[in-house]
Structure 1
Amino acid sequence: MAEPDSGRRGGTLAMPPADVRPPKMGELVARRLRRMIVDGELKDGDFLPHESTLLEHFGVSRPTLREAVRVLEAEGLIELRRGSRTGARVTVPGPEVVARPAALQLQLGRANLADVYVARSAIEPTAARLLALNSEADHRGLEESLEEVRACLADDAERFAAATARFHLRLVELSGNQTLALMAGMVHEIILRQTQSSVRTREAEASTASGAAHDDPQVNYRRAVRAYEKLVQLVRAGKADEAERFWRRHLEVADELVLAGHQATRVIDVLD
């Protein structure tokens, strides 16, 4: 005798999971507005159309539209302006929107500087390879960043450190790979802070009056500039494989110098 159909198929209930639900209308409106921003129909600095226009366009209620606006505001895609020019203004976020929560996650996860520099060593050599295959304009962009580093060579340690950190970040940005650039942006502030700290420490050691021998920090700075110059030459020559290998070797040496004695330093101690 056949058993009555209990709605089971293969031992599982033939019904959708309990956590699956159709999106709310406010979410659908937010999705459409988000797509308009991504596609450039709404640009950075533009104001959204007047509320009455949006209500008519989407055919939704005022609470639904305001829910959509709140979603986009929480994502940092629009800001509500008050005063002489009121309304919802489009604000296209930069990498810092991701960098801040990423840095917080690293702090909460008790990540140390060794973690961060290993990540950079995984990102930048690949970026160097991609950049070598790119256009003349991208190559020129890296050369301009090198000029900024050269200009700071005789300046104070912190300005030089900031210029070198920008060179590393610019290298990845010019590679054309948006994902790598986003990842590099996430660790940029940490790298910058640590580089500045390391440079300041070495300058202080070099200026001590103890009579002990110290390495001249300028020697290391000039070595860094020569490495940057070599990378620019390889990139301009389109030598992708050589650029990747050279930059990987450079980072191994440079990271050892910058991280000496600080590998276990926690990210939170650098950013505080």
Structure 2
Amino acid sequence: MNSKQQTVRLSDGHFIPVLGFGTYATPEEPKTKVTEATKIAIDAGFRHIDSASMYQNEEEIGLAIRSKIAEGTVKREHIFYTSKLWCTFHRPELVQFCLEQSLKKLQLDYVDLYLIHFPVSLKAMEKCKDAGLTKFIGVSNFNRRQLEMILNKPGLKHKPVCNQVECHPYLNQRKLLDFCKSKDIVLVAYSALGSHREKTWVDSNLPILLDDPVLGSMAKKYKRTPALIALRYQLQRGVVVLAKSFTEKRIKENMQVFEFQLTSEDMKVLDGLNKNIRYISGDGFKGHPGFPFSDEY
């Protein structure tokens, strides 16, 4: 693979790059920025690109991927592309339609990973895999109880290969991570650097993760940025991590996560930062029977 990316094995024997490029943008940001940033990310060595139909930017991302394939920088099989099924398409007959719409916008034949964005049934997702529209299926924002319900379902055909959840030093998801590892499900971390900038989603009174003095002093010790310390922490725990930035300098900088290692003592210190702070509270879904954040994990 034309990249210094490392990978982690999925339950069916295939591999997912451990560092992903997150593409969610606020409505204020111009769509063309997504195309430009995705091209920069691929040039910098990112091979795992994470988006969703809800982000409304798949046309722009598809344009970036196809232009990099056309110029010979990468081949399609070198890109691991993730999309997600949004809540308005959960009715079984709409699931494949939603994925086909994403593929139409991307102008790609398949996605590598298709996730349920919010807890619902997996059956219609399995049909998308059988139809060859996605290589793998997974879930997002599922808690332990919801994962167990899926895993214990009679006639389960394709086990979810991953669970994408908010995860960072202030919400380290230790119990959920241990459970996922025990079931051979990869944990993928979103909002891995906190999420203070998206004011519409986030309580502005919450502490800013990257301003944490512990991350700051560790950044000085390793001659890296606090963001790189937070990303490296996840990789050493066996978590696949999504890094989102549309700034060229930071996109390139995030690839340095493979160039250093944290000591086990420093990993313990970072474990101690956990405050169970959730930046993406999902309050709009409170009261929904599938709301996942009421359980401990």
Instruction: Tell me which interval the TM-score lies in, with the shorter structure as reference length.
Output: under 0.3
Q: Which has the higher helix share?
A: 1
Give the greater-gyration-radius structure (CA).
1
| TM value normalised by structure 1 | 0.23
Bigger relative contact order (CA 8 A; separation at least 6): 1
| TM value normalised by structure 2 | 0.21
Q: Which has the higher strand share?
A: 2
